[in-house]
A = this chain, B = another copy of it.
C-alpha cells in the first residue's frame, strides 16, 4: 500500500461518495443527461484555470531546480489540457466565449480555492494531497468506466471523456503523481501529520463529490 492507498482507506466513505457518485455511474451507463454533462464541462474549464495556478504555486514553493522543473511540467500539461478542453467543449456546442463568460459555481469555487489555500498555508505535501482526488481519482474513474478498454466503449455517448482518462497516457500521469506523493511523504510525513492529511483528503474528496452534484443539478 502506498500513501494514496492509506489516504483512501482512512477516508473511505468520502472517497466512495466521490468516485461512485451518481454523476459517474450515469456517465458510465450513458444515462447522464447532456445538460448535466455540459454544465460540468464548463465548470471543469474554469476549474482547470485554478488548477494551473495550483501547479504554479507548487513551483513557487519549491526549493530545488528539480522540484521547480517538475511543477513546471505539470503547469505546462494543464495548459495543454485546457486547449483539449476547449476543443471537447466545441463538440458539445460550447464556444470559447461561452466558457470564458460563465460564472463560477459555488462547487467550483469551493474545491479550487480550498486546494490553493491548502498550498498557500501548508507545504508541498498538503498541496499535492489536496490535488490528488482530482489528478489520481480521475484515472481511477476512467479505468472503472472502461473496464474492457476504450475500444470496447463503441459509440458510448461519453466515450471521448472516458477515453481521455482511461488511456495509458493519463494512467501514467496518475501513477507518476502517486509516486510523487510517496516521495514527498518520505521527506516530510509524520504519524501526527497523517491524521491531519487524511482529514484534508476527506474534505477534498467531499468537495469533488459536490462538484459532480453541481453537474447533476445542472
Contact = CB atoms under 8 A, between A and B. Distances in A.
Interface of A: 49, 52-53, 56-65, 68-69, 71-72, 75-76, 79, 82, 103-104, 106-107, 109-110, 113-114, 116-117, 120-123, 186-190, 192-193, 196, 203, 206-207, 210
Contact of A121 (B60, B69, B103, B189): B60
A192 B203 contact: no
A190 B192 contact: no
A165 to B, nearest CB: 21
B68 A72 contact: no
A206 B69 CA distance: 29
The 6 closest A-B pairs by CB, nearest first: A56-B59, A113-B113, A110-B110, A56-B60, A123-B123, A109-B110
Contact of A60 (B57, B68, B187, B192): B57
Contacts of A116: 113, 117, 120
A113 B117 contact: yes
Contacts of A203: 103-104, 109
Contact of A72 (B58, B61, B62, B72): B72
Contacts of A61: 120-122
Nearest to A108: B110
Contacts of A122: 61, 123
A122 to B, nearest CB: 6
19 contacts: A52-B72, A53-B60, A53-B68, A56-B56, A56-B57, A62-B121, A63-B196, A68-B75, A69-B79, A72-B76, A75-B75, A103-B203, A106-B107, A109-B113, A113-B116, A113-B117, A116-B117, A186-B192, A187-B190
